Amino acid sequence: MPLSVVILAAGQGRRMNSDLPKVLQLLAGKPLLQHVIDTARRLEPADIYVVYGHGGARVQAAFAHERLDWVLQADQLGTGHAVMQALPLIPDDHTVLVLYGDVPLVGASSLGELVHNADSGALALLTVVLEDPAGYGRILRDAAGAVSGIVEHKDATPAQLALREANSGLMAARAIRLREWLLDVGPNNAQREYYLTDVVAGAVKSRTQVVAIPVAHPVEVLGVNDRVQLARVEAGYRAERAEELMLAGATLADPLRIDVRGEVTVGRDVFIDVGAVLVGRVHLGARVQVGPYCVIRDSRVGADTEIRANSVIEDAVVGDDCRIGPCARLRPGTALGAHVHVGNFVEVKNSAIGPGSKVNHLSYLGDATVGAQVNVGAGTITCNYDGVNKSATVIEDGAFIGSGSMLVAPVRIGAGATIGAGSTITQAAAGGKLTLARARQLTVENWTRPTRK
């Protein structure tokens, strides 16, 4: 049966105390709403409708890259009223799945179960059993245990408040039935709003089966109304990602001290130390070791590579059996062959370094092509930028660059060349020969260092 997803995202989020619309608050580096959209896409819906209100132009601009149908809720009169705005656009033969832009962690498997039951003609609800369900609507059941209704927290009696089975707000039903039930919903509550949860009474009245599906993990239905709740959701997200990595074959020094903000894949026997931050699309090959407090973004790291403490790798490709850091930085466009060493306080940008080469100390390589088995001495800099243009440096196989050398691009260092320490190279250096470029050393007699008066 065709599926239409309706995401409610019109709330202002006053309790966030932010100029940013609530659904644009960041979770693991992505807006809350993006997480919901990404999960909805996994169900392959025919359409995704986003009901917007506060900060609508800003929200729409943030998702200009997505194929979405935007529905305005000019007056925020409750969740039922929000769904009413989208229903006229949805064909009767569709199943409607209702999601919330501030409930970002719900899993596709839980939503799939909702949709499956709704396809069969039921009104399907996602529920959760909580030790402290304060703030949540409570699931009401009759003597036979069937769902008979939902009462919001603010409208509940003391006896109803003692119930622990709570409504998550996520539900699915056929569009034609949902439309019928919403016509009977009125603002008969303390908030004078149209509650979506009141459709349960309509379903019961029409003798439609109401299926309450307990969520597998309560973290899936955590909502975000303030920054405290945002932090709790972030912690839940981190825990889920850490568990996925461990099940995939990674050992985490402390699962509570890793931050995964993207799609991370790992080979067998990977080790990740504390404080690592993995952002975007990251792949760590088998037996990779990531030291403490490293940041890896949108990069691939080959098998048996060691990334030592406090290193940053961004938009880079690292070959097998490399040694990176500590305190190294690989910037976008970096590609390392196998067995490369990039040591402490070395920065590499938009450069390729061939197999077996070493850049071990306090150096900068930018816009460079470095061959195999090259040794770059401490303090070497490729002078690649003249204030307007960036130029390339080529260092051929087997070259040896002495410490403290300045390679002024564009320039080529021939295969097997040796550059004497402290040289400033402005012209091509011949392969297999020693090239020096130093000013003559001079001692000035009778010179006195100035002193402060």
**Maximum Cα–Cα distance for the chain, whole Å?**
108
Residues 44 and 143 in one domain: yes
Residue 174: pLDDT above 90? yes
Domain residues for the domain of 297 are: 242-435
The mean of the pLDDT values for the chain is: 94
Q: Is residue 254 part of a domain?
A: yes
Q: Among 30-34, 195-199, 398-402, where is mean pLDDT lowest?
A: 195-199
pLDDT band at 1, cuts 50/70/90?
confident
Residue 247: pLDDT above 90? yes
Predicted local confidence at residue 185, as pLDDT: 85
Which residues, including other chains, have CB under 8 Å from residue 294's CB and lie 6 or more apart? 273, 275, 276, 277, 307, 308, 309, 310, 311, 312, 313, 325
Q: Is residue 444 part of a domain?
A: no
| Domain total of the chain | 2
Residue 55: pLDDT above 90? no
Q: Which of 153, 217, 283, 361 is catalytic?
A: 361
Residues 277 and 214 in one domain: no
Residues 74 and 139 in one domain: yes
Residues 277 and 194 in one domain: no
Predicted local confidence at residue 132, as pLDDT: 86
Residues 395 and 296 in one domain: yes
Q: Is residue 278 part of a domain?
A: yes
Residues 205 and 156 in one domain: yes
Residue 63: pLDDT above 90? yes
pLDDT band at 181, cuts 50/70/90?
very high
Residues 48 and 129 in one domain: yes
pTM for this predicted structure: 0.86
Residues 397 and 250 in one domain: yes
Q: Is residue 452 part of a domain?
A: no
Residue 230: pLDDT above 90? yes
Q: Is residue 441 part of a domain?
A: no
Which residues, including other chains, have CB under 8 Å from residue 121's CB and lie 6 or more apart? 174, 208, 209
Predicted local confidence at residue 66, as pLDDT: 95
Residues 206 and 335 in one domain: no
Predicted local confidence at residue 145, as pLDDT: 86
Q: Is residue 322 part of a domain?
A: yes
Residues 249 and 387 in one domain: yes
The enclosing domain of 325 has a CATH number of 2.160.10.10
Q: Could you read off the pLDDT of 4-50 as tens digits, one per residue?
A: 999 999 987 888 899 899 999 999 999 999 999 999 999 999 999 99
- Per-residue pLDDT averaged across 379-402, rounded? 96
Predicted local confidence at residue 136, as pLDDT: 85
Predicted local confidence at residue 37, as pLDDT: 98
Q: Is residue 175 part of a domain?
A: yes
Measured CA to CA, the distance from residue 268 to residue 396 in angstroms comes to: 35
Predicted local confidence at residue 369, as pLDDT: 98
Q: Which residue among 221, 254, 273 closes a domain?
A: 221
Q: Is 339 a catalytic residue?
A: no
- % of the chain at pLDDT higher than 70: 100
- Per-residue pLDDT averaged across 210-237, rounded? 92
Q: Could you read off the pLDDT of 131-169 as tens digits, one per residue?
A: 888 888 899 988 888 888 888 888 899 999 999 999 999
Residue 190: pLDDT above 80? no
Residues 346 and 412 in one domain: yes
The enclosing domain of 192 has a CATH number of 3.90.550.10
Q: Which residue among 221, 252, 269 closes a domain?
A: 221
Residue 372: pLDDT above 90? yes
Q: Is residue 450 part of a domain?
A: no
- Name beta bridge partners: 282: 264
pLDDT band at 201, cuts 50/70/90?
confident
Residues 170 and 254 in one domain: no
